[in-house]
Structure 1
Amino acid sequence: MESGLSTLLSVSIDFETSHLFFPRIIHWLLACLFLLVLVFRVIPFLAAVRRGEHSLPIIGESMDVLRFFGTLALIAAYFYLMAAIGNLFPYTGYGFLFVSMAFVLLMSLLYMHERTRKNLGIAVVNAIVAPSLAWFVLAKLFNITLP
């Protein structure tokens, strides 16, 4: 009786695959949530489009070409420059800090409708404070290596 209970309470861990336990759970949860969204939101919306009650939000609407392609270009430049400048200052996070400041400022200017002195000041302060705070918390408090 005792040997049956001891085998029931013993745990063996396969260390070659144990790191995949939680990612598998997360993948299955995300897949189930995707199916729920598909069933309860997307399929009824597409049925309403087919009946003519709704229209597809992408087709037939005007597009802000400057902001769309400007955003894509800024994101691509952000990742490229973060690695390039990060290589100049390895293991300091300055690549993240300096490029994030420029990125936040340029994105703010791209989406700013009225460029008043007050709005520009707010954008500059935000571009300096937000990345600096993120850099301080991640790089200095948590010792996370940033590019």
Structure 2
Amino acid sequence: MESQWLSLLDVTIDFDQSHLFFPRIVTWILVALLAIILITRYRLLVPGLKRAGRVLIGREGEFDHRRFFGTLALTTAYFYLMGVLSDVFPNTGYSFLIMSVLFVFLLSLLYVDRPTRRLFVILVLNALIAPTLAWYVLAQLFRITLP
């Protein structure tokens, strides 16, 4: 009888899934908040969504398709390739660092109208310094596990 009660105090951790505990909670909270916003503000959101749809398909206003879809493609590639690289450099954060440098540089280049030599140097420096600083603070100082 006593062993049954003690078994309630045993804790087992599935380390393959344990890192997903809080992201799942946050995701469901955000989904619930989105549902509340959509329900309570539906009449205010519909005209804006209709206009955004007309702009997106090119019926109304000016829309930069290259930057919009380029941003979507770069963001998708960033997360996908970070996962691929994390298999090459597991638990080091190097995949975060490498992909963040590439992502920041390519995204910056996408949004520059006329790249000059000086602007190109600034983009390269920004792409090298900002992700490296973020990686150093998160992975080295705070010991947060990065992909």
TM-score of the pair, normalised by structure 2? 0.64
User: How well do the aligned residues superpose, as a CA RMSD in angstroms?
Assistant: 3.1
Name 2:77's counterpart in structure 1.
77
Mark the runs of 5 or more structure 1 residues left unpaired by the alignment. 1-14, 50-54
Tell me the amino acid that sits aligned with residue 109 of structure 2.
L
Deviation at 1:38, TM superposition (A): 6.3
Moved more, 92-101 or 76-85: 76-85
Comparing 117-126 and 98-107, the one that deviates more: 117-126
| Per-residue deviation, residues 97-139 of structure 1 (Å, max 9, x unmatched) | 0110001000000111121122212111110111001100110
Q: State the identity as a percent.
A: 46
Within the candidate set 47, 56, 59, 2:51 is matched to 56
Ranges in structure 2 where 5+ consecutive residues have no aligned partner: 1-10, 12-20
- Equivalent-residue separation in structure 1 for 2:33 and 2:109 (angstroms): 39
Match for residue 130 of structure 2? 130
In the superposition, relative to structure 1, how do residues 34 and 82 fare at CA in structure 2: closer, same or farther (>3 Å)? same
Name the SS of the counterpart of 2:145 in structure 1.
Answer: coil
Residues 33 and 95 of structure 1: CA distance in aligned 2, closer, same or farther (over 3 Å): closer
Q: Tell me, in whole angstroms, the C-alpha distance in 1 between the residues paired with 2:70 and 2:130.
A: 21
Answering whether residue 124 of structure 2 is matched by residue 146 of structure 1, we say no
In structure 2, C-alpha distance between the alignment counterparts of 1:132 and 1:72, rounded to whole Å: 23
Pairwise CA distance, 1:75: 1.2
C-alpha distance in structure 2 between counterparts of 1:106 and 1:66, whole Å: 13
